[in-house]
């Protein structure tokens, strides 16, 4: 199915917060620097090797404020050795200039979404000029991008980008399929297979995450197809069905631990941080 060698271990990325859920609706969502740092430590113990971070302000609202970003990056580096990836997607309301300036916080990695799409009732803006500028800026700073693919056509855009710009910082090309967003591609096994078939030749590794109820089907399909995993409360706050209806996710570490269990049963145990850094083209710690 995949032309990429089936990896022996699984890179598990945790996306603990996101920009969409409110603390009022989801009280267990980590939003403060201290909570995100504690989450990072717990998730590393549970099997994660990378963290995808969105930052919140003192009122728990999404922010791209540089000192706040730097505070969270420092706190996570203090509490864990996870690969630190900052979101440049931010929230749908963030200005592109502010999203570019996220790189000033000097993460190891940054997300880089490959195209504009409807995002529920909103629009997530990623025009070509922004994609190229973010790519060049990340390469100039030695920050490794994770290419976020919300729709199949984004893989054609990745090919166009690599043809025009060459390889990113680190020399590896890591893709994350973000599936099941209303406005993007569906989160199911058939679409995972279609994406794997459409990966540019230069892609060296890929992961997948399913938003909402597509979380578990995408997790299983990704492992079966040789992919890595992203899990976390950015993407899903419902653990599953119980006798009384939907059961809420207790913590990000619970999601990581479940992903690690399933991956281990499938002979793909969690990847160590050192191996994740090598996979992504980052220097050793």
Which residues are near ligand KMH by CB under 6 A?
18-20, 87-89, 91-92, 111, 113, 119, 124, 148
CA atoms within 13 A on the CB side of 269: 3
Q: Which is nearer to ligand KMH, 54 or 277 (CB)?
A: 54
DSSP code per residue over 176-238: EEEE--BTB---SHHHHHHHHHH--TT--EEEEEE-GGGHHHHHHHHHHTT-EEEESTTT--E
User: CB neighbours of 28 closer than 8 A, spacing ≥ 6?
Assistant: 233, 248, 249, 250, 251
CB 14 within 8 A of CB 254: no
Q: How far is the CB of 153 from ligand KMH (least distance, A)?
A: 17
Q: How many residues does the structure list for the chain? A: 285
Q: Which x/- pattern, by CB under 5 A, does the window 72-91 give for Zn ion? A: ---------------x----
Which of Zn ion, ligand KMH, none sits in contact with 148, Cβ below 5 to 8 A by type? ligand KMH
Residue with tokens 């199915």, as numbered in its chain: 1
Which of Zn ion, ligand KMH, none sits in contact with 79, Cβ below 5 to 8 A by type? none
Q: How far is the CB of 20 from Zn ion (least distance, A)?
A: 9
Using alpha carbons only, how large is the chain's radius of gyration in Å?
Answer: 17
Q: Which is nearer to ligand KMH, 124 or 130 (CB)?
A: 124
Q: Which is nearer to ligand KMH, 18 or 33 (CB)?
A: 18
For β-strands 245-248 and 238-242, DSSP reports them as antiparallel
Taking CB atoms, the residue at the shortest distance from ligand KMH is 89
Q: Which is nearer to ligand KMH, 9 or 232 (CB)?
A: 232
Q: How far is the CB of 35 from ligand KMH (least distance, A)?
A: 18
Which of Zn ion, ligand KMH, none sits in contact with 271, Cβ below 5 to 8 A by type? none
Q: How far is the CB of 166 from ligand KMH (least distance, A)?
A: 22
Kindly give the residue spans of alpha helices, DSSP state H, lying in the chain.
33-46, 66-79, 96-101, 128-141, 153-165, 189-198, 215-224, 252-265, 273-280
Q: Which is nearer to ligand KMH, 124 or 203 (CB)?
A: 124
Q: Which is nearer to Zn ion, 9 or 90 (CB)?
A: 90
Residue with tokens 């629009």, as numbered in its chain: 123
Q: Which is nearer to Zn ion, 71 or 146 (CB)?
A: 146
Q: How far is the CB of 110 from Zn ion (least distance, A)?
A: 11
Which of ligand KMH, Zn ion, none sits in contact with 145, Cβ below 5 to 8 A by type? none
Q: How far is the CB of 93 from ligand KMH (least distance, A)?
A: 9
CB 87 within 8 A of CB 19: yes
- Pick out residues in 81-140 that bind Zn ion (CB under 5 A): 87
- Phi, psi values for residue 111, rounded to 5°: -75, 150
CA distance linking residue 261 with residue 249, whole number of Å = 16
Q: How far is the CB of 39 from ligand KMH (least distance, A)?
A: 16
The two three-digit tokens of residue 104, written as one number: 């000033």
Which of ligand KMH, Zn ion, none sits in contact with 91, Cβ below 5 to 8 A by type? ligand KMH
Residues in contact with Zn ion by the rule CB under 5 A? 87
């Amino acid at each position: 199915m995949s032309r990429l060698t089936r990896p022996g271990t699984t890179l598990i990325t945790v996306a603990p917060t996101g920009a969409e859920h409110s603390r009022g609706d989801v009280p267990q969502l980590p939003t403060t620097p201290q909570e995100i740092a504690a989450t990072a430590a717990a998730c590393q113990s549970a099997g994660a090797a990378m963290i995808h971070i969105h930052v919140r302000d003192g009122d728990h609202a999404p922010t791209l404020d540089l000192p706040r970003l730097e505070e969270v990056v420092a706190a996570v580096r203090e509490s864990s050795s996870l690969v630190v990836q900052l979101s440049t997607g931010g929230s749908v309301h963030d200005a592109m200039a502010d999203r570019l300036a996220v790189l000033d916080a000097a993460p190891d990695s940054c997300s880089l979404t490959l195209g504009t799409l409807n995002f529920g009732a909103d629009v997530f803006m990623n025009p070509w000029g922004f994609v190229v500028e973010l790519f060049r800026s990340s390469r100039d700073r030695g920050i490794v991008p994770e290419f976020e693919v919300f729709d199949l056509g984004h893989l054609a855009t990745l090919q166009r980008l690599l043809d025009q710009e060459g390889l990113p910082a680190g020399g590896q090309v890591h893709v994350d399929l973000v599936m099941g967003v209303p406005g993007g591609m569906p989160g199911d096994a058939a679409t995972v297979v279609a994406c794997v078939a459409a990966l540019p030749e230069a892609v060296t590794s890929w992961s997948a995450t399913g938003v909402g109820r597509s979380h578990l089907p995408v997790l299983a399909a990704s492992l079966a197809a040789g992919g890595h995993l992203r899990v976390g409360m950015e993407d899903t706050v419902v653990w599953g069905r119980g006798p009384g209806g939907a059961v809420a996710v207790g913590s990000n570490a619970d999601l990581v631990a479940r992903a690690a269990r399933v991956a281990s049963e499938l002979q793909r145990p969690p990847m160590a941080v050192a191996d994740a850094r090598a996979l992504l083209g980052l220097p050793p710690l």
